[in-house]
Structure 1
């Protein structure tokens, strides 16, 4: 069914709000995770650990990163507040990271075509949640080479509900199992042969989620697209050193490209 103008406007506003939360998540989750790992390591070694625990994902009000002043609601409107404040804090006038507005805008751009591919509100909502969750995971993986389980679980749940909603649950579950098994076996084999962890478990979970979303028949194409983009990235931008390359962003881009190719 075609969406009404009010539904389209509501969709845009909701996606921008999700994008704002995603931007916050990409900043707070790595800090909190690093703190918890350090605390666990100190406790294991019996060393005192006195660092202050950073804010959790939903702890407390948003504050300026420079002066720590609480931000009123009018400074938290996605994109609009950043533009009106000219990218600076109202209190200390220090520059605000453009990451927030970039993630908000990117979430909107990658979700807007869903208005053309989805034909009911349930499908639109589940696909939007899935894409935004995977996008958040891809950003964190690119920055920190970590893929949050929270993002994969939300996206996987959305994919399973999509399978139930479209009467394709069998294909969804099969895609999840085959996607996980294929990459896990590849990871295990490389670890046994070369004693190198070439593929992280986060990438394995991410492919399982994409397999659940797009179905088992598209897993080969997904991996092909992702691998080609990874090779191109290494050839053009990455310096020749031994630093690992995050594979999550390429899996995400491959999934998005393939989904819109199939449905637009």
Structure 2
């Protein structure tokens, strides 16, 4: 569906209503609603930084790789100012005009600007406010369901990392070590205190996640004569195993593979993608990992109950 000005205004009106609702709940509601409202605002603010990270990190890595390759080959290339997460200032991609502070307000600035640059009237990508709103709602759900307890900051950090990895993989077909390593080590650190899984299960999960994906990739390469998985997928599964434990890996891999096959088949059927076009696998693994995080034990229990019932029958 094409996103028109009317669509954007409708989205904007919905966002305002949600903000007003959560603000009211935060003042007059229960402890759960107050926590949800506060974390929604935090999530939208963090979502603004997430947009910067998604856009800039692949470019920063590409610049560093080019410099390293030039240095290793003895070539001389013109050096430009390296991009960082803080430099240069956020600006309009069309006219390069730096954004004022009020133009950086999550979601609200997009609505005030009516989806266009204040200087050149170029359209602003609606993904920016949608990412901010999506992360805000995800944080609000965590606050509503878990309140403030030791696992809450861990849930928020995990959602942030997984969202960043999924969107970067969608855009650049890349799962950066800078994020997958943080995912791995933070998962093991959290499970020192058994926040998600016993430490032994987390360590086994990290090992099994990496080695399992490596084995699948090796078998695929042997059968198809080409690579089917990137090493970033190995590290992503290691990180997921470190957070959730080895028990959730079969569900994550199985559900991720099924979703990838279904979406790929639909895109090929409607000629939106060629059969030989590489497809990012990370977002499907991440979506499946979120399912495993929220309902993994129930799904596994239901599966074994079903299998046991069929066996007994």
Same fold (TM over 0.5): yes
Instruction: Please say which of residues 202-211 and 89-98 is displaced more in the overlay.
Output: 89-98
Question: Contact between 1:147 and 1:202, CA under 8 Å: does it hold in 2?
Answer: yes
Q: Deviations over 1:121-159 (max 9, x none)?
A: 431111111111111111111111101122223333432
1:263–1:101 Cα change, 3 Å: farther
What corresponds to 1:234 in structure 2?
Answer: 264
1:79 to 107, 111, 124: 107
Contact 2:116 2:124 in 1 (8 A): yes
1:146 is matched with which residue? 174
Specify the alignment match of 1:68 in structure 2: 96
Secondary structure class of the residue paired with 1:237: helix
Q: Which residue in 2 is equivalent to 1:243? A: 277
**Alignment deviations for residues 102-133 of structure 1 (CA, whole Å, 9 cap, x no partner):** 21122223333222443544311111111111
The Cα offsets for residues 173-221 of structure 1, whole Å up to 9 and x where unpaired, read as 2211111111122223434555422111111111111112221111111
Taking only aligned residues, the RMSD between alpha carbons, in angstroms, comes to 2.3
| In structure 1, distance between residues paired with 2:89 and 2:72 | 33
Q: What is the aligned residue count?
A: 263
How many angstroms apart in 1 are the aligned matches of 2:185 and 2:101? 31
Normalised TM-score (structure 2):
0.76
| Bigger CA radius of gyration | 2
Q: Measure, in 1, the Cα distance between the counterparts of 2:188 and 2:37.
A: 27
Q: Which runs of 5+ in 2 are unaligned?
A: 1-29, 299-313
Deviates more, 1:48-57 or 1:168-177: 48-57
Distance 1:28 1:54 in 2: 11
Contact 2:36 2:141 in 1 (8 A): no
Any idea what SS the aligned residue of 1:56 has? Answer: coil
Structure 2 match to 1:46: 74
TM-score, normalised relative to structure 1 = 0.89
When structure 1 is superposed on structure 2, of 54-63 and 224-233 the one drifting more is 54-63
Q: Moved runs in structure 1, 4+ residues, more than 4 A? A: 2-6, 192-195
- When residues 158 and 10 of structure 1 are mapped into structure 2, their CA distance, relative to the original with a 3 A threshold, is farther
Pick from 234, 238, 253: which aligns with 1:204?
Answer: 234
For the 8 Å contact 1:174–1:215, the answer to whether it is kept is yes
Aligned counterparts, 1:99-110, within 5 A:
99-110=127-138
Comparing 50-59 and 219-228, the one that deviates more: 50-59
Cα distance in 1, alignment partners of residues 274 and 116 from structure 2: 37
Correspondence for 1:259: 293
> In structure 2, which of residues 218, 233, 254 is the aligned counterpart of residue 188 of structure 1?
218
The residue that corresponds to 1:165 in the other structure is: 193
Which stretch shows the higher mean deviation, 197-206 or 88-97? 88-97
User: Does the residue aligned with 1:90 lie in a helix, a strand or coil?
Assistant: coil
Gaps of 5+ in 1: none
